[in-house]
């Protein structure tokens, strides 16, 4: 947030420009001067700010502090795992040998990089209990599409042309039905029971000869471990279908539960949620796909294989093909590798221990203040409803906005869709008890404010550089750069 009073630091860079002021000094030419290209390529009147270096630094540092970020604030965005990631993982991925490598370099020149990818495939296989891994997919949704195409290819190869339906729980992330539909399947919605598990009766009804498979998120987006999961997999398999696992948020299960052992056939992981790449704002990600031996031949290409001492890129026998240009987002994969190596087995297990402990601590501290539609031990996140506050005049949105005044980013709101006025909160494994305590206190204080001063809550935020934005307009007509005022 900008500190009050200093007019100069509130100006845009262009407004600070003074003709002739210089921010950097170029070295003397040590090559012959060349004529500039013809006039068509040069814009004489291009307005560029003439400012000093400190002004540039102050301007951009100021801009960077207008926003909430994981390095400045607690960011309890459920189903997104906005946790703190150790900076060492960034530093390792910036090493020149990793950052400067070119994806077209021949395998014999990139053995170290290929070995790292091969080892990472092995770690992810160990973590998921699924023996085959492709790292090439670049996001969670991308991994889902790959998995759905693999399931389709498997059925087509085995005479299952009538398997046209994929069943997906009503609590699922929106990418699930989108991915299934893109792979050519018809999506059938699966109801959740009153405990928040997949409704087994509803599942039995769709488990027929036209079922290609199901897509299950574990823990579910209600933050719950589906206690029927083994039975869900059994019912689907018995009907000839396959089970896809959305493992975008695995921080509740790491080192304790393996998807492959529960009965999942193919799953994706979001390395940019669980395995240390910071995300938000649509930055680079990775959504590796892990599969059983049965589905391994269909994985997207390339995968890294080892022959003798050498590592090479190869294409699985019945591969669905390439879904990205090269071998995935290498920098993201290096971060995940570093994260796993620095933590080791015991450290990986402590991620899930702390994630689940923190979420349950927070959930129990708020029980009775905010409504808990599924009041069970939760996993890495808990989904509340702001219904009780709404009865007194403030919706989930107002509460989320008021949290900004207390110095906290809003939780995920209005998702999952099956919870009215949903506030989906994930403290993550990386926050301290003190931070969680002060967040809980803020929510308790806001609940009191809803009764005592509804208007204060409903006009929040009061302390941010801008208050309530037209979010649809901001997304559709972003105003991203300075423009000279129209001369009229």
Ligand X SMILES: *Cc1c(COP(=O)(O)O)cnc(C)c1O
Name the segment binding ligand X (CB under 6 A); options: 92-100, 133-141, 454-462, 467-475.
133-141
Binding residue (CB under 6 A) for ligand X from 89, 121, 125, 221: 221
Q: Where do we find the tokens 């100021």?
A: 62
* Overall residue count recorded for the chain in this entry: 488
Binding residue (CB under 6 A) for ligand X from 134, 217, 358, 394: 217
CA 358 vs CA 72, 289, 296, 339: distances in Å = 20, 28, 36, 21
- Beta carbon of residue 220, minimum distance to ligand X (angstroms, whole number): 9
Per DSSP bridges, beta strands 266-269 and 242-247 are parallel
- Beta carbon of residue 140, minimum distance to ligand X (angstroms, whole number): 2
Residue 211 and residue 180: Cα distance in Å, rounded?
Answer: 12
Binding residue (CB under 6 A) for ligand X from 76, 132, 140, 419: 140
User: How many other C-beta atoms lie within 10 A of the C-beta of residue 218?
Assistant: 22
Is residue 223 a contact residue for ligand X (CB under 6 A)? Answer: no
Pick 78 or 316: Cβ nearer ligand X: 78
Residue 169 and residue 171: Cα distance in Å, rounded?
Answer: 5
Question: What's phi and psi for 399, nearest 5 deg?
Answer: -65, -40
What is the rounded radius of gyration, in angstroms, for the C-alpha atoms of the chain? Answer: 26
Is residue 219 a contact residue for ligand X (CB under 6 A)? Answer: no
Is residue 380 a contact residue for ligand X (CB under 6 A)? Answer: no
If binding means CB under 6 A, how many residues of this protein chain bind ligand X?
A: 14
- Beta carbon of residue 180, minimum distance to ligand X (angstroms, whole number): 12
Is residue 246 a contact residue for ligand X (CB under 6 A)? Answer: yes
Is residue 139 a contact residue for ligand X (CB under 6 A)? Answer: yes
Residues 6+ apart with CB under 8 A from 467: 460, 461
Name the segment binding ligand X (CB under 6 A); options: 119-127, 134-142, 308-316, 420-428.
134-142
Instruction: List the interface residues with ligand X, window 52-91 (CB under 6 A).
Output: 79
Pick 163 or 173: Cβ nearer ligand X: 173
CA 241 vs CA 176, 214, 247, 325, 431: distances in Å = 17, 8, 19, 31, 40
- At residue 189's C-alpha, the angle toward residues 188 and 194, to 5°, is 150
Do 171 and 192 meet the contact criterion of CB atoms below 8 Å apart?
A: yes
Is residue 428 a contact residue for ligand X (CB under 6 A)? Answer: no
Pick 78 or 160: Cβ nearer ligand X: 78
DSSP characters for 416-476?
STTSTTEEEE---TTS-HHHHHHHHHHHHHHHHHHHH-HHHHHT--SSSSS-S--HHHHHH
Instruction: List the interface residues with ligand X, window 340-359 (CB under 6 A).
Output: none
Among positive and negative, which fits the CA dihedral 419, 423, 427, 428?
positive
- Beta carbon of residue 138, minimum distance to ligand X (angstroms, whole number): 8
- Beta carbon of residue 287, minimum distance to ligand X (angstroms, whole number): 6
Binding residue (CB under 6 A) for ligand X from 85, 137, 175, 395: 175
Instruction: List the interface residues with ligand X, window 282-301 (CB under 6 A).
Output: 285, 287
Supply 305's token pair: 């294989």
- Beta carbon of residue 79, minimum distance to ligand X (angstroms, whole number): 4
Is residue 411 a contact residue for ligand X (CB under 6 A)? Answer: no
Torsion of Cα atoms, 385 then 390 then 395 then 396, to 10°: -10
Is residue 125 a contact residue for ligand X (CB under 6 A)? Answer: no
Name the segment binding ligand X (CB under 6 A); options: 89-97, 136-144, 182-190, 351-359.
136-144
Is residue 302 a contact residue for ligand X (CB under 6 A)? Answer: no
Pick 233 or 267: Cβ nearer ligand X: 267
Name the segment binding ligand X (CB under 6 A); options: 3-11, 138-146, 229-237, 366-374.
138-146
Is residue 248 a contact residue for ligand X (CB under 6 A)? Answer: yes
Do 217 and 248 meet the contact criterion of CB atoms below 8 Å apart?
A: yes
Question: Which is nearest to 371 in space by CA: 392, 390, 386, 393?
Answer: 386
Name the segment binding ligand X (CB under 6 A); options: 227-235, 242-250, 257-265, 423-431.
242-250
- At residue 450's C-alpha, the angle toward residues 446 and 453, to 5°, is 105
Is residue 179 a contact residue for ligand X (CB under 6 A)? Answer: no
Is residue 128 a contact residue for ligand X (CB under 6 A)? Answer: no
Question: Which is nearest to 158 in space by CA: 298, 30, 51, 2?
Answer: 298
Is residue 173 a contact residue for ligand X (CB under 6 A)? Answer: yes
Pick 142 or 165: Cβ nearer ligand X: 142
Residue 83 and residue 226: Cα distance in Å, rounded?
Answer: 24
Is residue 336 a contact residue for ligand X (CB under 6 A)? Answer: no
Residue nearest to ligand X (CB): 140
Is residue 141 a contact residue for ligand X (CB under 6 A)? Answer: yes
Do 138 and 329 meet the contact criterion of CB atoms below 8 Å apart?
A: yes
Compose the 460-479 pattern: x for residues touching ligand X by CB under 6 A, - for all others: --------------------
Which spans of this chain sit near ligand X (rule: CB under 6 A)? 79, 139-141, 173, 175, 217, 221, 246, 248-249, 270, 285, 287
């Amino acid at each position: 947030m900008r500190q009050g009073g200093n007019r100069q630091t509130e100006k845009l860079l262009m407004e600070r420009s003074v003709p002739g002021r210089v921010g950097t000094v170029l070295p003397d030419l040590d090559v012959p001067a060349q004529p500039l290209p013809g006039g068509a390529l040069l814009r004489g009147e291009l307005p560029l700010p003439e400012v000093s270096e400190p002004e540039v630094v102050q301007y951009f540092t100021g801009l960077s502090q207008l926003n909430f970020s994981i390095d400045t604030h607690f960011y309890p965005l459920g189903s997104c795992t906005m946790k703190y990631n150790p900076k060492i993982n960034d530093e390792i991925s910036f090493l020149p040998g990793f950052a400067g490598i070119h994806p077209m370099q021949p395998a014999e020149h990139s053995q170290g990089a290929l070995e790292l990818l091969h080892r990472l495939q092995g770690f992810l296989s160990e973590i998921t209990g699924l023996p085959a891994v492709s790292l090439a997919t670049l996001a969670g949704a991308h991994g889902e599409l790959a998995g759905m195409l693999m399931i389709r290819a498997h059925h087509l190869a085995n005479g299952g042309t009538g398997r046209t339906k994929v069943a997906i729980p009503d609590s699922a992330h929106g990418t699930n039905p989108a991915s299934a539909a893109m792979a050519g399947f018809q999506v059938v919605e699966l109801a959740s029971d009153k405990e928040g598990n997949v409704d087994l009766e509803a599942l039995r009804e769709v488990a027929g000869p036209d079922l290609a498979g199901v897509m299950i998120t574990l823990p579910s987006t209600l933050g719950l471990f589906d206690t029927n999961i083994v039975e869900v997999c059994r019912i689907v398999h018995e009907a000839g279908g396959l089970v896809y696992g959305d493992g975008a948020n695995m921080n509740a299960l790491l080192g304790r539960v393996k998807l492959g052992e529960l009965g999942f056939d193919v799953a994706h992981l979001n390395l940019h949620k669980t395995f240390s790449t910071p995300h938000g704002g649509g930055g680079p990600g990775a959504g590796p796909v892990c599969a059983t031996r049965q589905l391994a031949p269909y994985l997207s290409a390339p995968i890294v294989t080892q022959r003798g001492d050498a590592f090479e890129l190869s294409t699985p026998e019945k591969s669905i093909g390439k879904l990205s240009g090269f071998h995935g987002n290498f920098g993201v994969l290096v971060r995940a590798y570093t994260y796993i190596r620095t933590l080791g087995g015991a450290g990986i297990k402590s991620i899930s221990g702390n994630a689940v402990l923190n979420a349950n601590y927070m959930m129990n501290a708020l029980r009775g203040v905010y409504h808990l539609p599924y009041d069970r031990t939760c996993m890495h996140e808990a989904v509340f409803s702001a219904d009780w506050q709404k009865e007194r005049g403030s919706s989930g949105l107002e509460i989320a906005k008021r949290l900004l005044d207390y110095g906290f980013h809003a939780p995920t709101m209005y998702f999952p869709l099956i919870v009215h006025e949903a506030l989906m909160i994930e403290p993550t494994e990386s926050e301290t008890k003190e931070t969680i305590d002060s967040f809980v206190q803020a929510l308790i204080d806001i609940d009191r404010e809803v009764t005592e001063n509804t208007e204060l809550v409903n006009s929040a935020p009061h302390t941010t550089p801008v208050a309530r934005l037209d979010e649809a307009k901001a997304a559709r007509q972003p105003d991203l750069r300075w423009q000279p005022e129209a001369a009229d």
